[in-house]
Amino acid sequence: GQNIDQPTEMTATEGAIVQINCTYQTSGFNGLFWYQQHAGEAPTFLSYNVLDGLEEKGRFSSFLSRSKGYSYLLLKELQMKDSASYLCAVGQAGTALIFGKGTTLSVSS
């Protein structure tokens, strides 16, 4: 079967660093995606990993270990606007993304 696990909720304060973990067991693998979704809005693309290692993009970084079926999204210098749901998704060749249930991050001042 297809299974993607991530924590339901996380809280953090402005300026802090937070790591959102994702583990997956899927029948196919064509990359690991992270999307951000603010309430009532469309998911927006944050990062893509297909090889093991760390990808850094500004305040956001994403890590992948294919052998462990594990990824994390690292958010640095948190801002209030980072309060959102963060979706981990596994790409399937030529077809759809399989999403986890999302992690709701609340950033407080």
Partner 1 sequence: GAGVSQSPRYKVAKRGQDVALRCDPISGHVSLFWYQQALGQGPEFLTYFQNEAQLDKSGLPSDRFFAERPEGSVSTLKIQRTQQEDSAVYLCASSFSSGSYNEQFFGPGTRLTVL
Interface residues with partner 1 (CB under 8 A) are 4, 30-31, 33, 35, 41-45, 48, 50, 87, 89, 91, 93-102
Nearest residue (CB) to partner 1, 17 versus 84? 84
Q: How far is the CB of 95 from partner 1 (least distance, A)?
A: 5
Q: Are 92 and 5 in contact (CB under 8 A)?
A: no
Ranges assigned E (strand) in 1-109: 3-5, 9-13, 18-25, 32-37, 44-49, 53-57, 60-65, 70-75, 84-91, 97-99, 103-108
Nearest residue (CB) to partner 1, 17 versus 50? 50
Structure tokens at 21: 């973990």
Nearest residue (CB) to partner 1, 14 versus 25? 25
Q: How far is the CB of 93 from partner 1 (least distance, A)?
A: 7
